[in-house]
A and B are shown apart, each in its own frame.
Chain A
Amino acid sequence: MNDLLVRARTAASTVCDPEIPVLTIADLGMLRDVRLSGDTVEVEITPTYSGCPAMNMIALEIETALHQAGIPHARVTTTLTPAWTTDWLTAEGREKLRAYGIAPPPPASTRRALFGETTTICPRCSSPDTEQLAEFGSTSCKSLWRCRACREPFDLFKCH
């Protein structure tokens, strides 16, 4: 990879998800490719959810980040395949989520996880004694939970 692409990837990797500002698009696994197309740097991202309203903003912020890194010709494209899954969250991303107070998602490898038949650990006190309050939380990617041990409510990043 040449120097331009390294700079482009580094710049694109700093862009955060506007709805979960502790996570970058690289942590989320949304950043799929950075490549050269003529004299234009093409950054390929994949949406987390079909209706994710943050996609336009993320694309704009990637272009801005690349411009600030001295890369004037940049374009953001989106791809649907392979479909994004919460399994692509990096280990670092999962730890950042937990420290932010959001329980990281269970592995999506089985459909059982989609239906929540796994244990959710409280991100504050690590107790497994938790209960779901609402399947659909403040954004598409979260559900609302409560810890029976420390009594704190918290968000779970839903398995997808």
Chain B
Amino acid sequence: MNRLALARADDALILGHRLSEWCGHAPALEEDLALANIALDLIGQARSLYTLAGAATGHDEDHLAYLRDERAFTNLLLVERPNGDFAVTITRQFLYSAYIDPYWRSIAATQSPLAPIAAKAAKESAYHLRHAAEWLIRLGDGTAESHRRAQTALTQLWPYTDELFDPITPDDIAVPRETWDTTVNAVLAEATLTRPDPKWQHRGGRLGTHTEHLGHLLAEMQSLHRSNPGATW
């Protein structure tokens, strides 16, 4: 099993599923379409990555997405955080995209088996990053209420960001912390938001030790396939 592809696939699938939960509930029609489109990109990336991850062991994308238990998922804790309000969803998307966009561009330029998938994903993540950054600026530098919500979201999610920088396998590439800091600090400054400095950082997603939220997500996402094994459209 390609553990690197599997973990990156888990990140994309879980975050994509989270965004799909907004479908029909977003604050505006344009935003409903945007979140659904981003979810579709992420789930598409997950499909390619799962296919790569399971190629050596004969596991297909459906098996890896629908028939593994919580402990077998190695996604970041950040991406399984519940949607919360719109500010939480946007902040989560921004913190993840600010890492994964330079990550895809870097790994696309290597000989990694992930490179072809990364070359496509990098074009998509560039749009995702811009979308989330523009919203975060609008929320932070908007009304007193939107500012308060954006700052609360940032403070809640910040203790899940260190895990972004942990390499998944020895052959994984690492995006320098300064690259992420440059993007994040510039957007936070424009959004008039304060960068949190928590004493504690949560980890464990990469080892399969998840928060209670992932189990609920999987129960919903996997129920159809588990009750109808081998179901196809």
Is A37 an interface residue, CB under 8 A from the partner?
no
Contact A50/B126 with A83-B116, A136-B33 known, Cβ cut-off 8 Å: no
Residues of A within 8 A of B (CB): 47, 49-53, 80-84, 111, 114-115, 133-140, 144, 158, 160
Nearest CB in chain B to that of A159: its residue? B123
Contact B34 A136 (CB under 8 A): yes
Contact A80/B48 with A50-B120, A50-B121 known, Cβ cut-off 8 Å: yes
Q: Considering the chains assembled together, what is the distance between the CA atoms of A139 and B40 in angstroms?
A: 10
Residues of B within 8 A of A (CB): 30, 33-34, 37-38, 40-45, 47-48, 116-117, 119-121, 123-124, 126-127, 130-131
When distances are taken between beta carbons in the complex, the residues of chain A under 8 Å from B33 are 134, 136-138
Nearest CB in chain A to that of B52: its residue? A80
Contact B40 A140 (CB under 8 A): yes
Nearest CB in chain B to that of A140: its residue? B37
Contact A115/B41 with A83-B116, A83-B120 known, Cβ cut-off 8 Å: no
22 A-B contacts, Cβ less than 8 Å apart? A47-B44, A49-B44, A49-B124, A50-B117, A50-B124, A51-B42, A80-B119, A83-B120, A83-B123, A84-B120, A111-B126, A114-B127, A115-B126, A115-B130, A134-B34, A135-B131, A136-B30, A136-B33, A136-B34, A136-B127, A137-B33, A139-B37
Q: Considering the chains assembled together, what is the distance between the CA atoms of A77 and B24 in angstroms?
A: 34
Number of A-B contacts (CB under 8 A): 68
Contact A81/B37 with A114-B123, A114-B126, A115-B126 known, Cβ cut-off 8 Å: no
Contact B127 A135 (CB under 8 A): yes
Q: Which 6 A-B pairs have the closest CB atoms?
A: A51-B44, A50-B44, A136-B34, A51-B40, A134-B30, A80-B116
Contact B34 A52 (CB under 8 A): no
Query: B26 CB to closest chain A CB, in angstroms?
Result: 11
When distances are taken between beta carbons in the complex, the residues of chain A under 8 Å from B131 are 135-136
Contact B41 A140 (CB under 8 A): yes
User: Of B30, B34, B41, which is within 8 A of A50 by CB?
Assistant: B41
Contact A83 B42 (CB under 8 A): no
Beyond A49-B124, A81-B116, A115-B130, 8 additional contacts (C-beta under 8 Å) are A49-B41, A50-B120, A51-B47, A80-B116, A115-B126, A133-B30, A134-B30, A136-B34
Contact A80 B120 (CB under 8 A): yes
Query: A18 CB to closest chain B CB, in angstroms?
Result: 15
When distances are taken between beta carbons in the complex, the residues of chain B under 8 Å from A134 are 30, 33-34
When distances are taken between beta carbons in the complex, the residues of chain A under 8 Å from B120 are 47, 49-50, 80, 83-84
When distances are taken between beta carbons in the complex, the residues of chain A under 8 Å from B121 are 50
Q: Considering the chains assembled together, what is the distance between the CA atoms of A50 and B38 in angstroms?
A: 11
User: Of A80, A82, A160, which is within 8 A of B123 by CB?
Assistant: A160
Q: Considering the chains assembled together, what is the distance between the CA atoms of A137 and B127 in angstroms?
A: 13
